[in-house]
Structures are given as C-alpha cells and as structure tokens.
Amino acid sequence: MWRNMLKVAAATAAFGVVHSLLASRAAKRAVQETFGERNRNGLYRVIFIGQSFATLAILAAYIRRHPSRELYRVEGPLAWLMHAVHGGALVYATAAAAQVGIRRITGIESLAAWSGDGVVPKEPEAQGPALDEEGSRHPAGPFRFSRHPLNLAPIPLLWLWPRMTTSLLAFNVVATAYLVAGSLHEEQRLRAEYGRRYDEYRESGVPYFMPGFPATALRAPHSIKE
C-alpha cells in the first residue's frame, strides 16, 4: 500500500512540475518568440487551461488504477457540513475568478480578440489581482483574505471529503504542498508583471495564503527589475 501511495504522490508531483513549467514566464516567452506575440496572447491561456484539464484527467485515471484502502468515512450531519464547506469554497473561488475577470482568466477574452482584427490583450499574469495603475492598497473581495484565493479554495475541497482513502491522502499531501509553494511562484510572476504596484498590495497586510498566515511569509524575492 505504501508503494501505491508513493506512486500516486510521484505522479501528482510530476503533474505539478509540468503545470508550473508551462505557467512560467520563460515558457510564455519561448512561445512568443516562436509563434509571435499576437498568437501567444490570443491562444496560450486557452491551450494552457485545456491541457491542465486533460492532464488532470489522466492523473485521476492513473490514480484510480492503483489499489487503495479506505481510511475513514464520515456520514450524517457532519458529512453534510463538509459538503456545505465545499459549496462555500466554490463560491469563494468563483468570486475570486470574477474579480480578476472570468473571461480574462479563462482566456476567452483574448481568444475572441485573436479571432478578429483587433488588438489582443494579454491574459492576466497568474491568478492574482489585475492591479490598476494606482495599485491595490485597499484590496476587496476574496483578495482581502488571501493573496492567492484561487489556490486556497481547493484546500477544503481536498481535505473535507467525507471519504478518505490512502490514494486520496497521498494526492492531498502533494497537492496541498504544491498549492502553497506554487503560490510563491505566482508571486514572482505577479511582481515581474506589476512591479511596485504588487509590492504595495503585498504590504497592505493581506496574508500570503490564508487568514492567520503572516503577510510576510514566503515572500517572493526582490530580484526582478521593474
């Protein structure tokens, strides 16, 4: 059973590595140099999201192939409460996506512009707030409670599941570590995009990941020139 758990953990980590590499500024820059800025702006986000769903489905199919043992099962009112928290997490994630702009974050806005003759806007850098020229010293909505609400929202979905198995436990441990550490990768990209404006947002006191998480924890390095 431990061997199967290690296989699940390794596969989940591999998914995270591929996801981070494709989300990196280096990957986007390489695509832009190869296919041009307009094609990069118009197509990259949609293709990136498509491959994310496809590779996640492959990962899920791989995990289901491995034998797994049930660790516990919650039933009754406590299970209903868990599902209620799931609903709240989905509402929170939807509100965060809406604040960034659902059409922007999904790439639909850029794809629509690419298919026409107009200027193709860049997709939002990572899943952070789309800061205006005045920055965001007074953040609103989900971004008041976490600098990475779209990475925070999956945590209760993962851990407050009424049925826990060994495979799900292995997946959850690696996925949680990736969501927390991957948010640091996002901070680097967001600071490269917004510079001082993002520094002002970070210094506004919003926790790095979740309420109770120090605002200064795991801060992205200041090595990116504006």
Band the pLDDT of 134: cuts 50, 70, 90: low
Number of domains in the chain: 1
Eight-class DSSP state of 119: P
The parent domain of residue 34 ranges over 2-202
78 located within any domain = yes
Mean pLDDT of the chain: 86
The answer to whether residue 195 is domain-embedded is yes
Distance CA 45, CA 100 (A): 14
Does residue 217 fall inside a structural domain? Answer: no
Q: What pTM did the predictor assign? A: 0.84
Residue 11 falls inside a structural domain:
yes
In a domain, 83, yes or no: yes
Mean pLDDT, rounded, for 171-178: 96
Q: How far is CA 184 from CA 42, 128, 191, 219, in A?
A: 26, 11, 11, 7
